[in-house]
Copies of this chain bind each other. A is one copy, B any other.
Amino acid sequence: MKRLLWIALLSCATALAQSSDDAKPASTNVFGAAYPRVHPDLSVSFQLKAPEARKVQVRLGKDYEMTRAEDGTWSATVPPQVPGFHYYYLVVDGVEVNDPGSESFYGVGRESSGIEIPEKGVDFYQIKDVPHGEIRQFRYYSTVTGSWRRAFVYTPPDYDTNPTARYPILLLQHGGGEDERGWVVQGRTDLILDNLIAEKKAVPMIVVIDNSYAQKPGETPAPVTMPPGALKTVHITVSPTFGEVVVKDMLPALDRRYRTLPDRDHRAVAGLSMGAAFAMQVGLSHMDTFSYYGSFSGTVMRDLDAKNSYGGVFNHAEAFNKQCHLLFIAAGTAEQSRLDAANHARAELDKAGIKYIAYDSPGTDHEWLTWRRDLREFAQRLFK
């Protein structure tokens, strides 16, 4: 490993020496990496040393050709990007690879490069001089899967200084191809909650973030069904096993380990994309367990049928509205199919007389800035 180490560190040193414009290394870069660099107009420059490659591209939403310099360094500057977090890749002779200058982020079923495009004047997901809570790694044994599992738990800033206080909980789930790291790393859950709590916009709460993929012994993962050409309409199957894990194993273990308020009035469930399907399915079939429900960018909303969905729970509007403290349906305005799905669901609920809160994230796609905003909006409405 010695040789590799020195080469890697030297590459950083070289790259550092080259920075002489107004652009800044992305905050998502590894320590010391000068590229990718974000320009003041939010265009982004990429660079890769690849003397033997015939073709190198940046894949960021679409593909951009990189140009080879004589020394074998390939470069490209791509047009101004939408603020927020975007997964991206470099494509070397047709192979999608990670940029060695970027941290990597587990999403879309693999470790991917990612770039944070700054959002001017917006700091609700930035670190501030406020009291900070903790993200804790919480290991628990699942009798359903017969295995130890890992979740992350956010405890609010006063959790340890207020040793007799008990807290409500929010179960917050990732999307398809992501796992429990998504809301911690890309989602910045702790910073969003720390900031909201400091401003007294949200009440101190525990957030638990688990992995939605779960199999019983011998069970194979639910197959992914993808009718050709139907990318925008298919669903990712929500594991019913994970719902069992939550109710039978995770929540009881959480209630034993942390100072929770273990009743429905103090439990919320939400998720993004596949996690939205989970939140609705598990939340609405366990209304004795949860009383706040959030769907962020749920494709599943497309199929909402006020008469038949979720065991017909929406047929009894008065009872439902009394039991449900919050039904929150969100999408980004730049993710048309999810926005359509959300609007379909809202219309169905209107017809049925079901109360809900709608939130549309301006200008954002099926990406993490949409979900950070959703969390900010949802968390402020919980447990009040």
A residues whose Cβ falls under 8 Å from a Cβ of B: 1-6, 8-13, 30-33, 48-54, 87, 92-98, 100-104, 106-111, 127, 129, 132, 134-139, 141, 148, 160, 163, 176-177, 179, 190, 213, 221, 223-224, 226, 231-232, 236, 257-258, 365-367
**Chain B contacts for A51, CB-based, 8 A:** 94
Residues of B within 8 A of A4 (CB): 87, 108
Please name all residues of chain B whose beta carbon is closer than 8 Å to the beta carbon of A54 when the two chains form the complex: 54, 93
Check A177 against B224 for contact (C-beta < 8 Å). Answer: no
User: CA–CA, A95 to B10, complex, Å?
Assistant: 16
Q: Is A13 a contact partner of B223 (Cβ separation < 8 A)? A: yes
**Inter-subunit contact A31/B1 (CB<8 Å):** no
B134 to A6, Cβ gap below 8 A? no
Residues of B within 8 A of A31 (CB): 109, 179, 213
Contact A52 B224 (CB under 8 A): no
Residue of B nearest to A53 (CB): B93
Report the 4 A-B pairs with minimum CB-CB distance, sorted nearest first. A52-B94, A8-B109, A97-B97, A104-B111
With A106-B30, A139-B127, A177-B8 as given contacts, are A97 and B94 in contact (CB-CB < 8 Å)?
A: no
- The answer to whether A366 touches B2, judged by C-beta atoms less than 8 angstroms apart, is yes
Question: Is B30 within 8 A of A95, CB to CB?
Answer: no
A13 touches B224 (CB 8 A): yes
Q: Given B3, B87, B92, B160, which contacts A231 in the complex, CB threshold below 8 Å? A: B3
- Shortest distance in angstroms between A102's beta carbon and chain B's nearest beta carbon? 7
Q: A5-B109, A11-B109 are in contact. List 8 more A-B contacts (CB 8 A).
A: A1-B365, A1-B366, A10-B226, A13-B223, A49-B95, A104-B104, A135-B137, A163-B163
Residue of B at shortest CB range from A11? B109
* A95 contacts B97, C-beta separation under 8 Å: yes
